[in-house]
Amino acid sequence: MIKTTPILILFFLASLMPTLADQDANQLISNYLNQMVKHTATFSIGVEYYVKDKSPIRLSFSWKRWVQQTKVSHLIEMEYPNSEVGKRLLVHEYPNGSSERFAFRPKSVLKKNVRITGPRHYRYKKLRISVQELIGGELAKYTHHFLKKKRLNNKNCYLIENRLKPLYRNESDYPRSVIALSVNEQELVQWELYNRDNHLAKIILPGKIKDIDGVRTILSFRITEPRRESTLVFNVKSVDYQPRFDPIIFKKENLTESIQ
C-alpha cells in the first residue's frame, strides 16, 4: 500500500487552488455582468474631458445596447458638438470574445460604413476614448483570475485580474486589468487598466449607483490617466431599460439611415 505524505497532500491541494480561484473569479465577473451590464437599454450620456491647464472638452451621445442570446449589439451615435453629429459606431460582441465593429462618418468623402479591426479609438481634439471604454470593457476577451480580498474606497472587495486571451492580443491596448467588486453586492468599485508595458494606464471609478427599473445602474464614472494628468467623466443623463428596438438599426448596412 502506498502511503501519501502530508507534503504530497499539501502539494496536491496547492495545485488545485488556482483552478478553484479562477472558477470563483469567473463566477464573480458573471454576477457583475448579469447584474449591471447585460440588460437591453438606451442611454443618453454626457462626457467631459479635463486636462491640466486646458479648457474642458464636452461631448454627448446616445447608446443603444441590445442583449441577445447569440450576441450583444451596441449602437453609439454622437449628438454634440455639431461637428460630430451623426457619427456612429456599431459593435457586435459574441460570447467567445470575438467582436465586429463598424463606423459611419457622415462627412467623409466616401460616405460609407467602415469595418474596424484591432484597438480603435474615438477621437475629438485632444480627447481619445477607446471602443472598450464606450461599450463597457469587452470582458469576454479576457480570462479571469482571483487575486485576494482588499478594502478599497471604504468597501470590502474581491480583486480579480483579467488577462487578455492570446487570440485577441491585437484588439486591445490593455492586455491586463484588475477589477474590484464589492463583496456584498458584487458591484464595481474600481477598475485598473494596464498598457502593453504593464504600466498603469487608467483608473475607472464609479460614482452614484442607483436602482432603475430593478437594475443596479452606474449613473456616473470617471476615468483618470495618471501619466497624462487627465480625467474623463461620463454622466448618464437618462436611461430606458427594455426599449422596443427595430432590429434593422443594428445592421451594418443601415448605419447610413436615420434612426428614430
Residue 141 belongs to some domain of the structure? yes
Q: How distant, in Å, are the alpha carbons of 77, 140, 192, 242 from that of 63?
A: 7, 20, 24, 13
Residue 1 belongs to some domain of the structure? no
Q: Decide: 241 and 210 in contact? Cβ < 8 Å.
A: no
Residue 21 has a pLDDT of 67
Provide the number of structural domains found in the chain. Answer: 1
* Nearest of 31, 71, 74 to residue 216 by alpha carbon: 31
Q: Mind listing the pLDDT tens digit for each residue in 212-228?
A: 999 999 999 999 999 88
What string of DSSP letters covers the chain?
Answer: -PPPPHHHHHHHHHHHHHHHHHHHHHHHHHHHHHHHTSS-EEEEEEEEEEETTS--EEEEEEEEEEE-SS-EEEEEEEEESGGGTT-EEEEEE-TTS-EEEEEE-TTSSS--EEEE-SS-EEEETTEEEEHHHHHT--GGGEEEEEEEEEEETTEEEEEEEEEE-GGGTTS-S-SEEEEEEETTT--EEEEEEE-TTS-EEEEEEE--EEEETTEEEE-EEEEEETTTTEEEEEEEEEEEES----GGGGSGGGTTS---
Q: Decide: 218 and 188 in contact? Cβ < 8 Å.
A: yes
Q: What angle do CA 191, 209, 27 make, to 5 degrees?
A: 55
Q: 17 - beta bridge partners?
A: none
119-130 average pLDDT score: 89
Domain that holds residue 222: 34-253
d(CA 206, CA 219): 8
Q: Mind listing the pLDDT tens digit for each residue in 198-208?
A: 999 999 999 99
**For residue 89, what is the domain's CATH number?**
2.50.20.10
Residue 25 belongs to some domain of the structure? no
Grid coordinates belonging to 209: 449607483
Residue 8 has a pLDDT of 55
Residue 10 belongs to some domain of the structure? no
Residue 132 belongs to some domain of the structure? yes
Q: Quick check: 133 pLDDT over 80?
A: yes
What percent of the chain clears pLDDT 70, i.e. is strictly above it? 90
Predicted model pTM: 0.87
Residue 104 belongs to some domain of the structure? yes
134-146 average pLDDT score: 92
Q: How many residues does the chain have?
A: 260
Residue 19 belongs to some domain of the structure? no
Residue 27 belongs to some domain of the structure? no
What is the CA 179 to chain-centroid distance, rounded?
A: 11
Q: Quick check: 95 pLDDT over 70?
A: yes
